[in-house]
Chains A and B, each alone.
Chain A
Amino acid sequence: SAVISQKPSRDICQRGTSLTIQCQVDSQVTMMFWYRQQPGQSLTLIATANQGSEATYESGFVIDKFPISRPNLTFSTLTVSNMSPEDSSIYLCSVNGQGRWHTEAFFGQGTRLTVV
């Protein structure tokens, strides 16, 4: 299996500022995924982060707004830039397991962001 540590667990931020969310995995993984869950909504994929290459963004999400770093096989960051109240959401990091767990999807505990 995979254990994911996500920080911070929650934050309240002023509009116009940026927040960087960290995701640490206890094993090396090829791909890491970032999701957004707006209040009362389902999870939507923001981007897929591969180590050593630029992240691949889904429609509606752009690198300038959600820059992602993937410096190694166990760590990634997602930055929410120039925040507005509409960015208030839960942001979740996810990885797929390795070996016999390769079809499992594991999630961090999420970062609950409130923009005021």
Chain B
Amino acid sequence: AQKVTQAQTEISVVEKEDVTLDCVYETRDTTYYLFWYKQPPSGELVFLIRRNSFDEQNEISGRYSWNFQKSTSSFNFTITASQVVDSAVYFCASANQAGTALIFGKGTTLSVSS
């Protein structure tokens, strides 16, 4: 069975600090998909990224970057120069194949203060 672990429950940083959110996944499948979502206080889920198991390239999108390492079963998310608007709950999730439901980690609450 799949499992996603986000060991960090809460993180507090000051604006402009860099912050990394950890995600460790477990799966027996050779093909799987990993996701990151942001949930601001308003409650909606905002899609950030999807990564396929066969694509270990790291990705950068503005201040966001993701480090996918199959050797350690990790898919970590880094926010560079954090801003107050980054304050939210961040969820890491996985799916064992396209078109199936997601398994979510418990989430990491990020608080960025000015």
Contacts and interface: CB of A to CB of B under 8 A. Distances in A.
A-B interaction: yes
Interface of A: 30-31, 33, 41-45, 48, 90, 92, 94, 96, 102-107, 109-110, 112
Given A42-B105, A43-B102, A90-B43, 6 more contacts: A31-B99, A45-B101, A96-B98, A103-B50, A105-B35, A106-B47
A15 B70 CA distance: 47
Contacts of A90: 43
B68 interface: no
Contact of B44 (A41, A44, A109): A109
B80 interface: no
B99 A96 contact: yes
Contacts of B52: 103
A33 B105 CA distance: 17
Contact of B50 (A43, A44, A92, A104): A104
Contacts of B33: 103
Contacts of B104: 42-44
Interface string B74-108: 00000000000000000101010011111111110
